[in-house]
Structure 1
Amino acid sequence: MTRPLLIAAASIVGVALVALAGLPVYVFPTVESTPAHADVILVLGPPTSQRMSAARDLVTAGVSDRILVSVPPSVYVSGTRDHEKFAACTRDDPVVHCFQPDPTTTRGEARELGRLAERSGWRSAIAITMTPHIARARMIIQRCFSGTLAMHAADEPLSVGDWIYQYGYQTAGFVRAGLEPGC
């Protein structure tokens, strides 16, 4: 075998091994069964229609009566698409509470959950996000929230390109989270 062929074969094997290693973390993460009750449902950003629908379904099923939604700043700018899309954030809705995480990361979302949980006495939460984000989000949220946490994957379709991007993005996020311990 020629040197270029060996390099190509080794590269293919390397990519395949990375993809296989990521399967249990990104494609098939551990997802707890939905608890009978949670004090709050946290919708991690971006609050896609699938994530919001999953949260509303849990409220309808009587699992919780509170939805905490991480939103971009444009939600509060009249006339923007986000302002119309997330009207619940701009009116007095007893179920939905929207917030802008600081920083605008999973860590910022986790900090806000921890802060509000401490203030409100919440001891259990369900966090909703997309499948490749489940494992990393769980790790970060558990640093900031001491209560019982159940992760819920919203049914969001991802293309092959999306999966490739998420493998890289989530891996970089794990590295960053490892370098920034604590809440």
Structure 2
Amino acid sequence: MTKTDTRRRRRRRVVLVVLAVVLVGASALAARLFVWPSLPPLPDKADAIIQLGGPGNRRSVALDLVREGRAPVAAISVSDEERAVAGWCDDGRLRGVPVICFHSEPFTTRGEARSIEQLAREHGWHSVILVTSPDQAKRAELRVRRCYPGQIFVATAHLPWYWYPGQVLYQAAAMVKAYTIETSC
């Protein structure tokens, strides 16, 4: 074996080790941000529970939090299609819980944050509990904090394990966008 071959093998090993370290580090960071985010405990009372749109059993979590007495009302983000068929939006109650339906324009987390600020102003809310999934928790809090000056807490709804790979990739790209391109309310 020549010296050149030995150097190539060493370089290849170094590159593989560096790639492995980067992969492990990126996976650990992704897990911490999008699978098991660090969130403060929920308060005993808030002014509203706000369910953001997206996957997971968010609606059940939001309604359960109101039933527990954590807030007097649930504000639920709905798509245009959902609002058209959801009679409970017009009734103002869902499974016995007072609800406010809202549709943000655009129908994105950023649009929802703007709607939350407007609802908070209209209803005098000073503290809210956002209901989302673990993968969106940190970005949702960031987006809402940019628009809404009150206290923000986050509750998460379970996602099936097989949704995480796609959701982590999506949320990572959306987080980069939130920190670089869309940096205001």
User: TM-score, normalised to structure 2's length?
Assistant: 0.83
Alignment-mate amino acid for residue 172 of structure 2:
T
Distance 1:76 1:27 in 2: 30
Which of 107, 120, 125 aligns to 1:122? It is 125
Distance 2:33 2:18 in 1: 23
2:4 maps to what in 1?
Answer: none
Unmatched tracts of structure 2, length 5 or more: 1-8
- Cα deviation, 1:42-67, whole Å, max 9, x if unaligned, reads 1010275x211111111111111111
1:62 maps to what in 2?
Answer: 69
- Cα deviation, 1:63-108, whole Å, max 9, x if unaligned, reads 111111111111133xxxxx2xx44224342711111111111011
Alignment-mate amino acid for residue 149 of structure 1:
I
Distance 1:89 1:46 in 2: 18
Shift of 1:11: 4.5
2:143 maps to what in 1?
Answer: 140
2:170 maps to what in 1?
Answer: 169
1:38 maps to what in 2?
Answer: 46
CA contact (8 A) 1:28 1:131 kept: yes
Alignment-mate amino acid for residue 176 of structure 1:
K
- Cα deviation, 1:86-143, whole Å, max 9, x if unaligned, reads 4422434271111111111101111101011112111000000000111111111101
Tell me the number of residue pairs that the alignment of Structure 1 and Structure 2 aligns: 173
Q: State how 1:43-54 maps to structure 2 within 5 Å.
A: 43-46=51-54, 48=56, 50-54=57-61
Distance 1:21 1:64 in 2: 33
Aligned to 2:129, the other structure's residue is in SS state strand
Alignment-mate amino acid for residue 36 of structure 2:
F
1:152 maps to what in 2?
Answer: 155
CA contact (8 A) 1:46 1:72 kept: no
Aligned to 1:180, the other structure's residue is in SS state coil
Distance 1:169 1:11 in 2: 22
Distance 2:43 2:35 in 1: 22
Aligned to 1:109, the other structure's residue is in SS state helix
1:73 maps to what in 2?
Answer: 80
CA contact (8 A) 2:55 2:159 kept: no
> Over aligned residues, Cα RMSD in angstroms?
2.2
Shift of 1:154: 1.0
Q: Is 1:26–2:53 an aligned residue pair?
A: no
Q: Is 1:89–2:89 an aligned residue pair?
A: yes
Distance 2:34 2:132 in 1: 12
Distance 1:27 1:169 in 2: 13
Moved over 4 A (4+): 2-13
Alignment-mate amino acid for residue 83 of structure 2:
Y
- Cα deviation, 1:20-54, whole Å, max 9, x if unaligned, reads 12222112212221211111111010275x21111
Distance 1:143 1:129 in 2: 17
Shift of 1:156: 2.5
User: TM-score, normalised to structure 1's length?
Assistant: 0.84
